[in-house]
Structure 1
Amino acid sequence: MKIVVIQEEIIQTDITPKELTERWKRLEQLPGIDEVVIEVPAHYPNIEQLHTYIGDADAVFGLWIGSDNMNEAFLSQHPNLKYVATLGHGWEKFDTEMTRKRGISISNTIYGSQTIAEYAFALLMDVCHHIGTHDTRIKTIDWSVPENHNEFCKSVTRQIELYDKTIGVIGLGAIGFAFAKMAQGFGMHVLAYSRHKKTGAEYDFIEQVSLDELLARSDFISLHTPHTPATEHMIDQDTIARMKDGVILINTARGALIDEQALADALATGKVLAAGLDVLTDEPPVCGSPLLTAPNTVITGHIAWLTRESRIRAIDMAIDNFRCYLEGHPVSIIN
């Protein structure tokens, strides 16, 4: 069996390509593996480059799943392909029935539940307390001037407490559940809406409600649901109108969950008090994107997943998932 790995580029300061490559070489230890080819492109390859890399492989790791590659035209050029692993939690819509008919198993890698939940909570804390703003202020004021001394112990932004407030979690998968547990630890009342109600004692601290009820009762809302046709623009003018006045919105899932113009308008009026976003519909953002100039908005560049620990964990989990596939009990299959 031939395996091709499309190793993701290094976009952080605390890990090297060599470290990732060495981790991927653990695939060679699996039974029945004849060849492991690790491609290390400078950037994620285009479609033609993907064809060249994948070639006659039986399995490929590191593909970003979507309709541009999970289609008949693309897959027909790789008749040996039977296993595809994306190294992320999420994926874009594709023809799942077609891939099943071709006998291809497609898996995701749920490596970053805690990592991404922590980042979502960091965004929440930042929009509530603006720590960076106050840090910059303290470091730039000339404290040798006596008249400036009254500027110490002063807040120039509203400070918002989380304790005893209600937070709504949309999407109660692994990331949403990790986030919900953090919110509970801060003494928040946790509501959640998910496509399927979760059962089990571990969910007892969460009040699972309808989307309408969550929108109406939540002081804060955090999005943790995949992007599908059903969830695209689920946060739009209509759903925002059903939210509490002054709600705070967090999104570390997918940018297309939000109608960005509707959110920008709501931020301008104060209907939405603030937003913390790690994802946008267009990445990088297009010129004139309404959220770039919206008030009370913190935006980062899709980095919630980007810790050293998560990069290593993603590789280890992808290999473990593949081992399960080879042993006849596949896990994390999304098609």
Structure 2
Amino acid sequence: MTGQDQGPLMVVLDGHVLNPGDNPWDAVAALGRLTVHERTAPGEVRARAAGARVVMTNKTPLRAADIEALPDLRLIAVLATGYDVVDVRAAAARGVTVCNVPGYGTPAVAQFVFALVLECCHRVGDHAASVRAGRWAAGPDWCYWLTPQMELAGRTMGVVGYGGIGARVAELAHAFGMNVLVHAPRPKPAPGWEPFAFVELEELFTRSDVISLHCPLTADNAGFVNAALLERMRPGAILVNTARGALVDEAALARALAHGPLGAAALDVMGVEPPAAGHPLLGLDNCILTPHMAWASLEARQRLMAQVAENIRAFLAGSPVNVVGG
């Protein structure tokens, strides 16, 4: 797709998932000469972004060497909240602004967290499949269940990270009647409801029945959910990750799922996406994997598109917003 003939050259490196056909680029295209690539391989970045003043990326990495090779580049507009695909320090050294889109996916992701939690609790999909396969019609009883059914009320939800999504997940957990524990790296105001407590990370992993990750990926926290933390978890507990796959040591997680203490995991993100065939988590019945889709409601993608356009508009006007730094 190509935009208007006037204005700065703008390039989208990987636009397919944001607009697979239902979320047009019109608001962005109105701001300059827009070219949208559905997908871009790492080796294609420099050629496709050559001459562009604005480059937009979702998951296509922009590393230091790429940024250095693009002398016309002035703005990297990340099509997401997380910006670990961009070397922000290299961008800052070159005077390139980097902005992201915070908050657009809060309702969608928080809702999806509980879709995963409830699937772990009830295995609705497995039971529906068994009914379609004829088990209920052929059975002697009016009722059956294939897995233990777990109530959330009275149990403890641990939330790691207390930004917009983490706070909303905590609210939803409270609505289910759960006790809520939160670990946040910086002080945050507590909500106006109880039971709620800020705790250290080790205590959260020790006391929680369900743990949901909501922190950005940094060089300091990659793989922090390791064997030592997983061993602290209660027998039968559930781990949910809709943040970044690399936060979790996946080999340690596979061992904890296969041999205990973990009861189940539900992951919408992986360290490498898509995962390779034969990945150890793919073969575990107590691990639910979804294809990085928690953010993908049409409403969320429309909010994202509108905010990307606003980010670019503000930058071109000389007053950039949602700037992230190295």
TM-score, scaled relative to structure 1: 0.86
The Cα shift of 1:263 comes to 1.1
The percentage of aligned residue pairs carrying the same residue is 33
Matches of 2:27 and 2:87 in 1, distance apart?
Answer: 31
Matches of 1:74 and 1:119 in 2, distance apart?
Answer: 35
Show the counterpart of 2:254. Answer: 264
Paired residue secondary structure (1:106): strand
Kept in 2, the 8 Å contact 1:167–1:190? The answer is yes
- Once the two structures are superposed, residues 117-139 of structure 1 have per-residue CA deviations (whole angstroms, 9 ceiling, x without a partner) of 11111101101110111111222
* CA 1:244–1:99: 2 relative to 1, 3 Å: same
Query: What runs of 5+ residues in structure 2 fail to find an aligned partner?
Result: 1-6
2:72 corresponds, among 80, 90, 101, to 80
Show the counterpart of 2:45. Answer: 50
- Once the two structures are superposed, residues 189-219 of structure 1 have per-residue CA deviations (whole angstroms, 9 ceiling, x without a partner) of 1111121121265688742111111111111
Show the counterpart of 1:32. Answer: none
Show the counterpart of 2:35. Answer: 38
Superposition pairs for residues 163-182 of structure 1, below 5 Å? 163-182=153-172
Paired residue secondary structure (1:272): coil
The Cα shift of 1:144 comes to 6.0
- 1:131 aligned onto 2:135: no
The Cα shift of 1:328 comes to 4.3
Matches of 2:80 and 2:264 in 1, distance apart?
Answer: 28
The Cα shift of 1:38 comes to 2.6
Matches of 2:46 and 2:211 in 1, distance apart?
Answer: 41
Kept in 2, the 8 Å contact 1:3–1:36? The answer is yes
Matches of 1:200 and 1:141 in 2, distance apart?
Answer: 50
Q: Which one-letter code corresponds to 2:28 in the other structure?
A: W
Name the stretch that deviates more: 157-166 or 50-59: 50-59
Show the counterpart of 1:275. Answer: 265
Show the counterpart of 1:4. Answer: 10
The Cα shift of 1:91 comes to 2.7
Q: Which one-letter code corresponds to 1:271 in the other structure?
A: P
Matches of 2:315 and 2:194 in 1, distance apart?
Answer: 33
- Once the two structures are superposed, residues 131-161 of structure 1 have per-residue CA deviations (whole angstroms, 9 ceiling, x without a partner) of 111111222226665xx241x3211111111
Matches of 1:290 and 1:193 in 2, distance apart?
Answer: 29
- 1:221 aligned onto 2:211: yes
Matches of 2:217 and 2:27 in 1, distance apart?
Answer: 30
1:186 corresponds, among 147, 163, 176, to 176
Paired residue secondary structure (2:206): helix
Name the stretch that deviates more: 184-193 or 90-99: 90-99
Superposition pairs for residues 282-301 of structure 1, below 5 Å? 282-301=272-291
* CA 1:204–1:144: 2 relative to 1, 3 Å: closer
Matches of 2:108 and 2:22 in 1, distance apart?
Answer: 23
Matches of 1:239 and 1:184 in 2, distance apart?
Answer: 24
Show the counterpart of 1:104. Answer: 96
Q: Which one-letter code corresponds to 1:258 in the other structure?
A: V
Matches of 1:80 and 1:247 in 2, distance apart?
Answer: 51
The Cα shift of 1:321 comes to 2.2
Matches of 1:94 and 1:17 in 2, distance apart?
Answer: 26
CA RMSD of aligned residues (A): 2.4
- 1:17 aligned onto 2:7: no
Aligned length: 318
Show the counterpart of 1:60. Answer: 55
Matches of 1:185 and 1:143 in 2, distance apart?
Answer: 33
